[in-house]
Structure 1
Amino acid sequence: MPLEDDAENDLDRVLGQTRHLLGEGGDELAQRLVLQAKLLLRRDGGYFHPIPDDNWTAASYEAVLEVPPRAEGEYTQEMISRIWAKLETVLKRHDRHDVFGLVTEPMLEPLPAVAPDWRNNAPETAVPPTNQARRERADGGYPRRDGLTFTSRAEVVVYELLAGIQRECPPEKALAILPLPGAKLRDAGVRSPDFVVIGNGHALVIEVDGPHHYGTTRKADDADRDRHWDRCGVRTIRIGTHHVDHPEALDRLLREELRRWLFQPR
């Protein structure tokens, strides 16, 4: 029996099967994006103006991924094409040959729960908003240091080494350490590098890469991100998580890279 338009559980299963196929192809970034999305099927209804011989009609459908607004910039056209290549295969296996494309839309996030006496419980001074850890939250079990949130133990090790170097720097060579800052890049949407370090009027991006970064697809995605930072005149260095098991060697590496990219003429 063909997949019904409003069968939420079946549509969610389709998305899970799509994610599985993406994983078989080593596309872990697309897997992560699919995991946070919701799938809908929507009749085109004539909004799409068909090109002759492209098979679209007023009865055609499009697949819609509802995605978190804060992550919308990560669903680039190239990424949507990668997801659609697998999703289309799954839909056809479920006898949905009338779905001809994939689009994304921001999902409506739930409104916060507010008690009837919210005025009495409101703090006098509101906590200022911040882009730090925009995807990660302290109450999700993520490690914290100095009031900052990190996504892994490896990032904490790198942060502590950077903070140690920061303490040793004389005032004229001061450093600023920004873990997981939200950054809007021109053609790459919003990104959160693991660290940005600022000093001497220069900036350096530091990424802490786990084993999943060494697949072919993820390497290409990382290289694309690095190119966008290069266009801003900012160098990216990548550190494997295995380096944190040797903190003395990692400390020497960090000092060398900071000296090279922040405090030497280029």
Structure 2
Amino acid sequence: MSVAVTTSESSSEATKASTPTLHLVLAQTAFFMHEQGHNQAAALLADVEDVELVPGNRFGDWQDAVLIVPPYLVPRFTEDVTAAIQPVFEHVAGRHGLEIGGVTAAPALPDIGDDWRQILQEKLAKGAASNQASRSRAKGVTPGLSREGFVFDSREEVLVYEALKRAQAALPEDSTISIFPLPMGRVGVGNAWTPDFLVTVAGRVGIIEVDGPHHQKRFGVDATRDRHWRNSGIVHIERILVEETSADTDLDALVRQFLTRLREYR
């Protein structure tokens, strides 16, 4: 049975009534995407916080599904990713009696209280820069995106951290590595940047960046940033694509390769 939307009130009621079903549709779509080899889309769907239904047109002839995600994830729902997700989502929704006309992603709205003005002023006074400690307090801990007190921005970063830990555990104590997730640093003149991982090996310092689809459009920016890092003493920079984090064996091989290059740098 399809859900018809005729007024804003009926739309709200329909959305609330179908929320458990929508979450089931989301979960089954994510598994279908994984089984079809779309691991990047599956990983993104796993980070969706909620699904909302909105009228597809002003007459309410159909509904569109809006995937509510953390703001930093919105750019990762590119046209190609959404085009892959949409037919699967629509098919699964139809199997549950929901007629969905389209799928888009939107940022989750911030939780605010009556004291929002004071909180905002404090944040503005502190500036945009933050380190791990303030990130933990400001962002809270998103389920699945924290390890041992560190707060990460994506599931892929967590996977890279786990791979680095496995590499660290395999090393003897007298030649171990240090891992610094998302450290804030001042680079050059007036640049405050946060690499995904800063790693030290045998007196050398390297950086690992976990690149999503949005980095394809900012090659020049990334190249400029990498140059500044190298000029400041970072001897090796490794960029790992999100698609390369789906299998632990592949990721472990990339991390070993990174550490080898860092050790052998001359």
Distance 1:180 1:200 in 2: 21
Q: In structure 2, do the counterparts of structure 1 residues 64 and 254 end up closer, same or farther at CA, with 3 Å as the change threshold?
A: same
Distance 1:252 1:203 in 2: 11
Q: In structure 2, do the counterparts of structure 1 residues 154 and 113 end up closer, same or farther at CA, with 3 Å as the change threshold?
A: farther
Distance 1:134 1:187 in 2: 29
Query: What is the identity, as a one-letter code, of the residue corresponding to 1:199?
Result: R
Give a deviation string over 1:57-93, Cα, whole Å, max 9, x none: 7513222222221211111011111111210111221
Q: Name the structure 2 match of 1:130.
A: 130
Q: Name the structure 2 match of 1:76.
A: 78
Q: Scaled by the length of structure 1, what TM-score is found?
A: 0.55
Q: In structure 2, do the counterparts of structure 1 residues 214 and 80 end up closer, same or farther at CA, with 3 Å as the change threshold?
A: same
Q: Name the structure 2 match of 1:154.
A: 163
Task: Flag structure 2 segments of 5+ consecutive residues without an equivalent.
Answer: 5-13, 169-176, 180-198
Q: In structure 2, do the counterparts of structure 1 residues 184 and 41 end up closer, same or farther at CA, with 3 Å as the change threshold?
A: closer
Distance 2:36 2:135 in 1: 26
Q: Which has the larger radius of gyration?
A: 1
More helix by share: 2
Q: 2:47 aligns with which of 21, 27, 36?
A: 36
Q: Scaled by the length of structure 2, what TM-score is found?
A: 0.55
Q: Name the structure 2 match of 1:103.
A: 104
Q: In structure 2, do the counterparts of structure 1 residues 243 and 68 end up closer, same or farther at CA, with 3 Å as the change threshold?
A: closer
Q: How does 1:155-174 map to 2 (within 5 A)?
A: 155-156=164-165, 157=167, 160=178, 162-165=199-202, 167=203
Task: Flag structure 1 segments of 5+ consecutive residues without an equivalent.
Answer: 47-56, 169-174, 216-238, 260-266
Matched residue pairs, number? 205
Q: Name the structure 2 match of 1:91.
A: 93
What is the DSSP-based 3-state SS (H/G/I as helix, E as strand, rest coil) of the residue aligned with 1:205?
A: strand
Query: What is the identity, as a one-letter code, of the residue corresponding to 2:54?
Result: R
Q: How much does 1:17 deviate?
A: 1.6
Distance 1:61 1:148 in 2: 34
What is the DSSP-based 3-state SS (H/G/I as helix, E as strand, rest coil) of the residue aligned with 1:108?
A: coil
Q: Name the structure 1 match of 2:238.
A: 205
Q: How does 1:1-266 map to 2 (within 5 A)?
A: 1-2=1-2, 5-6=14-15, 7-37=18-48, 38-46=50-58, 59-97=61-99, 99-111=100-112, 126=126, 129-130=129-130, 141-143=146-148, 151=158, 152-156=161-165, 157=167, 160=178, 162-165=199-202, 167=203, 177=207, 185=215, 187=217, 198-200=229-231, 204-207=237-240, 213=246, 240-241=251-252, 251-256=259-264, 258-259=265-266
Distance 1:180 1:243 in 2: 12
What is the DSSP-based 3-state SS (H/G/I as helix, E as strand, rest coil) of the residue aligned with 1:110?
A: coil
What is the DSSP-based 3-state SS (H/G/I as helix, E as strand, rest coil) of the residue aligned with 2:246?
A: helix
Taking only the aligned residue pairs, the percentage that are identical comes to: 19
Query: What is the identity, as a one-letter code, of the residue corresponding to 2:40?
Result: L
Query: What is the identity, as a one-letter code, of the residue corresponding to 2:147?
Result: Y
Distance 1:109 1:89 in 2: 31
What is the DSSP-based 3-state SS (H/G/I as helix, E as strand, rest coil) of the residue aligned with 2:147?
A: coil
Distance 1:126 1:73 in 2: 26
Q: Name the structure 2 match of 1:223.
A: none
Contact persistence 2:209–2:239 (CA under 8 A): no
Q: Which moved more, 1:156-165 or 1:70-79?
A: 156-165
Query: What is the identity, as a one-letter code, of the residue corresponding to 1:92?
Result: G
Q: In structure 2, do the counterparts of structure 1 residues 203 and 16 end up closer, same or farther at CA, with 3 Å as the change threshold?
A: same
Q: How much does 1:18 deviate?
A: 1.1
Query: What is the identity, as a one-letter code, of the residue corresponding to 1:185?
Result: H
